[in-house]
Structure 1
Amino acid sequence: MAAVAAMSPEQKAGQVLLPFFKGNQVEAHAALIQRLHLAGSIIMGDNVPRDPQGRVDLGAMGAVNQRLLQAVAADGRPWPGIIAVDQEGGAVARVGAPLTEWPMPMSYGAAGNPGLTRQAGKGLAGELLPLGFDLDFAPDTDVTIGPSDPTIGARSMSADPAAAAAHGVAFSQGMLDAGVLPTVKHFPGHGSVTTDSHLSLPVQPASLDELRGRDWKPFQAAVAAGLPIVMTGHIAVPALEPGVPSSLSATSYAALRQLGFKGVAVTDALNMGAVDNQYPAGAAAVKALAAGADLLLMPADVSQAHAAILQALAAGTLPEARLDEAAQRVATMMIWRARTAPAPGAAGAGAPAGSAAALSAQVSASAVTVVSGPCSGPLVPGAVRVAGGGPGDRERFEAAAARAGLTVGSGPLVSLIGFGGKPAGGDIAVALDAPWPLQGSTAPVKLALYGRTDAAFDALAAVLAGKAPAPGKLPAAVGPFPAGSGCP
């Protein structure tokens, strides 16, 4: 591509860096983007402007993103900049209300309807587009191994590789339908390691054959579907390169390319403990780029990373051809997106904030699962008590119960179990996140909800009151209850 070939080394080094910034320092960040010729920016939770009620100020959010895009355009590049966000739905959602609130992605595996999953991907991405976002680090296509997976849990769509693959592709295609670039993550698979890479480096003990048969199935499906971006995780795989995070390992990038992947390989955030502890001051960016990464996400200090790339280039430790290849892949992707995606504000482009609420409700109603207990009729006699859960869960439950015509304060005890919660007793145990805590619960009736939105609690209350069935099936085994358990 002639435009990339004509760039200076400084411009090419910037084109492969996607930084973050602190709080509301938009002007300083825009100046840095312009000075270092950066690819764009990621928006984190602390960058999201809020109104006095704590809700997202949509006008101000759009203006921030527009300002950052202007800073990219000031370089004279003929392709748009990247404005990215982590918006999986559920626990990982940087931009909250008034955007639609979504349940945990495991809901899609429980509902088992890839058509609905694709609609949800389009619904979630459609509300991001009018704000100026063009790339989302979602969906998470990791295959979870269950309770010993501390990081991914219900962010995974399923413990079944084929289901995780089908729903991951469907969600991604829905996002593309809306005009936002999806990212499948975290190659070579974060759902089957037992350490959190935000803190330290997990080790994946599986053989390559095991990885191909489980963790790599969703990535293989993503490649077959022509999806544009794969994120590499900070996971050491002794079968590939012992002791080195995959995000910085040439063997790992080679394995990804051997699946047939021709798109943009982006690292997980380089300021995470698994990498930054070991490779400080720009070293991680150079190592990842030399290994085969095309886009370097959130280096701890982007100025240092930019300088380190130029130094490695000058010293010959980073081949110029590798930097050219990476810059070209990123530019090609953004040119392709500009051609295929609707422009924000164009007729039929994007969707108003909150417009996918009915769809989110449909996902939760389709996912709610009776793990043990009766499959028809009311589960409570018109009144309930509630215990457990995290901040706000009981209030949401009580409001949903009232909407379903249940009174709160007497009757069977419903125990809500939040993320990482302990197994609970009572008459009815409800897992609001991953369903694993149900395996140790002494409650005779066990339900999995996979979400804590108002709509998820409405779905739960409707099942308790006997006003709706629970059609979901367990997407992962829970103790003695095999995957696929649920009402017929």
Structure 2
Amino acid sequence: MTIEEKAGQVLLPFYTGNQVEAHAATIERLHLAGSIIMGDNVPRDAQGNVDVAGMGAINRRLAQAAAADGDPWPGMIGVDQEGGMVARLGPPLTEWPAPMSYGAAGSEPLTREAAQGLAGELVPLGFNVDFAPDTDVTMGPMDPTIGARSMSADPALAAAHGVAFSQGMLAAGVLPAVKHFPGHGSVTADSHHSMPTQPAAVEELRGRDWKPFQAAIDAGTPMVMTGHIAVPALEPGVPASLSAPTYAALRGLGFKGVAVTDALNMGAVTKQYPNGTAAVMALVAGADLLLMPADVAQAHAAIVGAVKSGSLPAARLDEAVLRVATMMTWQGRRGTPPGVPAGGAAPVSARVSAAAVTVVSGPCAGPLVPGAVRVAGGRPGDRQRFEAAAARAGLALGSGPVVNLIGFGGRPGGGDIEVALDAPWALQASPAPVRLALYGRTDAAFDALVAVLAGKAPAPGNLPAAVGTLPPGTGCP
């Protein structure tokens, strides 16, 4: 391969809007590894739902462009589809609750089945990479970024369910990428906007944040994503994604697969490293795949120039390309399973939510409301979904106890029953006698909630993170 071809194979770009042909031409011209699909690239029908046929056609065109050089491995067509708040693709694909549901439900087979269903719906659309699962260990209310994207505040639980989720994705034919090493759940800033600092010592990280990554590596994960987090114990002032000691630490855990950066167009990187410098720094440090550089042509030119000048050793670029090519060759040889039609995994999503509902305080048996209920809080769509679920369950609306819904970043609102739709620690300041954690806002999640309120179903979930003085594991026996 030429230097230009090698430089392209370590870049996975994004594009804006519906500029598919222009993007395909860029992929061919720069020999790029493929593409990631973001929310503004998703074609939609008149009702605002995903145009499944249109999405498939776009992905086939981009895969064709990635294959234009005749390489014997398939191009990458990736997406961020974790479930919960991070989902680029909505209906008619199955909607999934927040990943914290898996920690609350506590069933690794169910987590594996859910991931296989989620990934199985991506396969018919042409996706072969999903930048999930998030295996960060959340530290609770001080965590502004990950929250319910984390499966648990317990490192062992996050590790077990992260492995199960990855195994389910692989079984469906989609490559997972565990993220965000060295751990984004225990920092107090959002790397989309600025660079967080992780003050912990390496031994503390090894005993907490790194446990899910170690488990994933031991299970053979093909890809690990590094985050834009400064870790003074490794290299002060430098994002982990651009830090040689960080990649050395990752390899020190036994990882032999592809190290991919978090999106290089995020504020933590662009404010400090403009004009393609981040791409070269990441490769020199030990990254193998560079996700979403702010300007892919600029990044490509910077890599080619750095090899020619000697500031990026040719052997380091070769190592990165070889890892990417090896992973995608393996992916190609695995074949493509048939996948699942859009919406086909909905029953599994419903089972996840039903298994995750948690009684944080209040009775564990019997109806929690009489035959009627009122709803407050949340977003308008949350209230509409609750009302629709109540109607399906035969609960009247407009009188009775007030069920207050607390969404992401929300606060208790003084209802008779408080329900956290996202991370459960929003409930810690609530004086309500009955507090429930739902970890989702899908139709199926609201059906699970209403079934518990009406006394038609138990709430079998356990807290995957502390809520005030209530420890993880709190829930009904």
Q: TM-score range by the shorter chain?
A: over 0.9
Q: Which residue of 1 aligns with 2:174?
A: 180
How far has the Cα of 1:389 moved from its partner?
0.4
The equivalent residue for 1:141 is: 135
Deviation at 1:403, TM superposition (A): 1.0
> 2:341 — aligned with what?
352
The Cα shift of 1:481 comes to 1.1
Identity %: 79
Residue 435 (structure 1) shift? 0.6
> Which whole-Å deviations, capped at 9, do the CAs of 1:271-318 have from their partners, x for residues lacking one?
000001100110000000110000000000000000000111111000
Shift of 1:122: 0.1
Provide the residue aligned with 2:226 in structure 1: 232
Q: Secondary structure at the match of 2:225?
A: strand
| Aligned AA (2:345) | A
Q: Would you say 1:454 and 2:443 are equivalent positions?
A: yes
Matched with 1:409 is 398
Question: Any residues of structure 2 matched to 1:271-286 within 5 Å, and which?
Answer: 271-286=265-280
Q: Is the 8 A contact 1:183 1:230 kept in 2?
A: yes
Q: Secondary structure at the match of 2:376?
A: strand
SS in structure 2 of the partner of residue 265 of structure 1? strand
Deviation at 1:72, TM superposition (A): 1.1
2:95 matched to 1:101? yes
**Matching of residue 256 in structure 1 with residue 250 in structure 2:** yes
CA distance in 1: counterparts of 2:369 and 2:335, whole angstroms: 49
Query: Quick one: distance in 2 between partners of 1:391 and 1:182?
Result: 34
- The answer to whether the 8 Å contact 2:355/2:461 transfers is yes
Q: 1:340 aligned to 2:334?
A: yes
CA distance in 2, matches of 1:132, 1:400: 33
Cα contact 2:406–2:412 (8 A) shared by 1: yes
Per-residue deviation, residues 408-464 of structure 1 (Å, max 9, x unmatched): 100001000000001221110000000111000121100000000000000000000
SS at match of 2:176: coil
Cα RMSD (Å) of the superposition? 0.6
Residue 9 (structure 2) aligns with: 15
AA aligned opposite 1:371? V
The whole-number CA distance in structure 2 between the counterparts of 1:100 and 1:203 is 36
1:409 match: secondary structure: strand
Letter in 2 for 1:425: G
Runs of 4 or more consecutive aligned structure 1 residues displaced over 4 Å after TM superposition: none
Give SS of 2:59's match: helix
Q: Give the TM-score taking structure 1 as reference length.
A: 0.97
Q: Kindly indicate whether residue 443 of structure 2 is the aligned counterpart of residue 466 of structure 1.
A: no
- Of 110, 113, 122, the match for 1:116: 110
Q: Pick from 28, 48, 66: which aligns with 1:54?
A: 48
CA 1:391/1:281 → structure 2, altered by over 3 Å: closer, same or farther?
farther
SS in 2 for 1:375: coil
Are residue 76 (structure 1) and residue 70 (structure 2) matched? yes
Within the alignment, does 1:212 sit opposite 2:206 as a pair? yes
- What is aligned with 1:290? 284
Supply the AA of the counterpart residue of 1:90: G
C-alpha distance in 2 between matches for 1:413 and 1:272: 41
Which one of 371, 374, 381 corresponds to residue 370 of structure 2?
381
- What SS is found at the alignment partner of 1:13? helix
The answer to whether 1:479 aligns with 2:468 is: yes
The C-alpha deviation readout for 1:220-239, integer Å capped at 9, x for no partner, is 00000001000000000000
Distance 1:72 1:114 in 2: 36
Residues 171-206 of structure 1: CA deviation (Å, up to 9, x unaligned):
000000000000100000000000000000000000
Aligned partners of 2:121 and 2:341 also within 8 Å? yes
Q: What one-letter code is carried by the residue in structure 2 that aligns with 1:464?
A: L
The answer to whether the 8 A contact 1:180-1:341 is kept is: no
Tell me, in whole angstroms, the C-alpha distance in 1 between the residues paired with 2:66 and 2:213.
31
Q: How far did 1:74 drift?
A: 1.0
The Cα of 1:73 is off from its aligned counterpart by 1.1
Equivalence for 1:429: 418
Q: Is the 8 A contact 2:226 2:241 kept in 1?
A: yes
- Output the amino acid matched with 1:401: A
Structure-2 residue corresponding to 1:346: none
State the alpha-carbon separation in 1 of the partners of residues 341 and 197 from structure 2: 43
List runs of 5+ in structure 2 lacking aligned partners.
none
Deviations 1:377-396 (A, max 9, x none): 00001111110001300000
User: How does the TM-score come out when normalised to structure 2?
Assistant: 1.00
In 1, Cα distance between equivalents of 2:140 and 2:92: 32
Counterpart amino acid of 2:180?
Answer: H
Deviations 1:116-138 (A, max 9, x none): 00000100000000100000000
1:3 aligned residue: none
Alpha-carbon distance between aligned partners in 2 of 1:212 and 1:314, rounded to the nearest angstrom: 38
1:199 alignment partner, one of 177, 193, 196: 193
| Partner residue, 2:354 | 365
CA deviation profile, 1:54-113 (whole Å, cap 9, x unmatched): 100011100000000111111111111000000001100001100000000000000000
Distance 2:64 2:288 in 1: 23
AA in 1 matched with 2:349 = S
For residues 424 and 169 of structure 1, what CA distance do their matches in structure 2 show?
A: 37
Partners of 1:29 and 1:340 lie apart in 2 by 28
Note the C-alpha offset of 1:12.
0.1
Unaligned runs of 5+ in 1: 1-6, 344-348
Query: Which residue identity is paired with 1:62?
Result: G
Q: Distance in 2 between matches of 1:461 and 1:404?
A: 7
AA paired with 2:206?
R
Partner of 1:162: 156
Matched to 1:428, the amino acid is I
Tell me, in whole angstroms, the C-alpha distance in 2 between the residues paired with 1:278 and 1:221. Answer: 33
The residue type paired with residue 184 of structure 1 is: V
Residues 136-172 of structure 1 deviation map (CA, whole Å, 9 limit, x = unaligned): 0000000000000000000000000000000000000
CA distance in 2 between partners of 1:341 and 1:288 (Å): 31
Question: Which one-letter code corresponds to 1:481 in the other structure?
Answer: L
